[in-house]
């Protein structure tokens, strides 16, 4: 994981220093992007979309290589982070509690945690200690739209 000095810099500044920006949060007529219950904010599963386009399709371990899967996981995490920032009123207020990473993978592929690591690393790089989280990485047979990864989060306003 790349170490980024977090002291004295906002999460938004760290994100910009990485050459990234939060994508626009798009609404759905079928579900909400987040739901708040007490202090917890539940973020709906996010796919690796960019500007309305799914960045990759397929099964990890068959037609999606590890580095591509890691990049897609980072992008799905960035999308989830955008929803979290929208939910709490700004990126600097986001504190990630838990992340679930679903990886569409072959039965013999056992590196779901390595794919999920890319998403975890992004959260810590951007949010510092507020990005550290409990995590589950799960291999599944398929995901919506044949996406290789989907990420769901629980966060709070920190």
Identify the CATH number of the domain in which residue 57 sits.
Answer: 3.30.1330.40
Answer yes or no: are the C-beta atoms of 153 and 37 closer than 8 Å.
Answer: no
- Judged by DSSP in three states, 43 sits in strand
- Per the domain annotation, does 29 fall within a domain? no
Q: Is the pLDDT of residue 84 over 50?
A: yes
User: What's the confidence (pLDDT) of residue 83?
Assistant: 97
- Per the domain annotation, does 27 fall within a domain? no
- Per the domain annotation, does 3 fall within a domain? no
**Least confident interval from 6-10, 103-107, 151-155:** 6-10
Our count of domains for the chain comes to: 1
Percent of the chain with pLDDT over 70: 95
Give tens-digit pLDDT for 122-148.
999 999 999 999 999 999 999 999 999
Residue 33 CB partners (closer than 8 Å, separation 6+) = 25, 27, 43, 44, 83, 86, 87
The residue range of the domain holding 136 is: 11-21+38-157
Give the up-direction half-sphere exposure of residue 16: CA atoms within 13 A in the CB hemisphere: 6
- Per the domain annotation, does 53 fall within a domain? yes
């Amino acid at each position: 994981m790349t170490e980024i000095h977090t002291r004295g810099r906002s999460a938004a500044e760290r994100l910009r220093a990485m050459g990234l920006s939060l994508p626009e949060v798009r609404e759905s007529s079928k579900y909400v992007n987040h739901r708040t219950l007490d202090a917890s904010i539940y973020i709906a599963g996010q796919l690796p979309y960019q500007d309305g386009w799914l960045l990759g399709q397929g099964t990890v371990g068959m037609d999606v290589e590890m580095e591509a899967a890691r990049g897609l996981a980072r992008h799905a995490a960035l999308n989830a982070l955008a929803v979290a920032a929208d939910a709490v009123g700004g990126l600097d207020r986001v504190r990630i509690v838990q992340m679930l990473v679903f990886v569409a993978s072959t039965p013999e592929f056992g590196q779901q945690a390595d794919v999920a690591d890319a998403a975890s690393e992004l959260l810590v790089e951007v949010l510092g200690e507020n990005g550290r989280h409990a995590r589950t990485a799960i291999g599944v047979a398929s995901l919506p739209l044949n996406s290789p990864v989907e990420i769901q989060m629980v966060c709070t306003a920190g």
